[in-house]
Chain A
Amino acid sequence: MGAHIDSCERCQTVLDSLSELDERVVAGLESATSPPPDLFERTTVGVEERLRNEASAGAFLDLFTIGWTTVHAVLDPTPDRGSPHDGDANADETMGGS
């Protein structure tokens, strides 16, 4: 029977009308799940705080990254491997070696 109901729209409609909840039950559900009066305020404050914290964490990470990049650039004795000149030289070597 369950399988039939799953596939029969007419039976589903009949069952739906038969199983309608008493309005007191619906009202009770509304009461039992009703949001607290300060939900709006608490939610906006909470979300704004999380967004601010996220922005602060991002800024801190940026500062750390800048510091690290600077220290690395000063202390690293190897030439900048990303320059166009080096790229050309490597390409020449590769071509010459083949």
Chain B
Amino acid sequence: MTADAFIFWFLSLVAVTSGLSVVMMANPIYSALSLAMTMVSLAALFATLGAYFIAGVQVIVYAGAVMVLFVIVLMLFDLREETKAFTRGQVSGALKIAMIGFLAGLIVMVMAQGVKFLAAPDVVDAAKLPEDSSKALGLVLFNRHIFGFEALGVLLLVVAVGTVALARSKGGTHAKH
């Protein structure tokens, strides 16, 4: 087994395991920590794929900021005991699991079909992707996608204002006085 292959298998094992525990853990705080774990492992995978900048952002934004947000909210709610992790209904649960399994199979099959359309899917075209991908990313982002970037800035501003407004309202949009 080569080192590259080992790293992939190891990281994917960690990601799948911690992803499963996000779904399965009864206690939300464990779910949150597992999600952080998944994100870190995915960040490492991004790094192996040459997306160093994205990997860094993934750690900072997702595993850092977003997860901290989740944990703080959990702390605010003070949910000591989560007796049941899943919603009621065995029939609908079985139906959902069956559907998910079916969906997983379908997604894989469709992806397998889609891969054929790439010229040489499994060969890394190292020449095409520049070594310092962060610089290339920056150049593309601020040239070709500058409009999207600016729009995102506006979106974030709106979100910041909206969140503050939501937080100030006392319970729901139809506040009781």
Q: Do A and B come from one complex?
A: no
Give the interface of B toward A (CB within 8 A): none
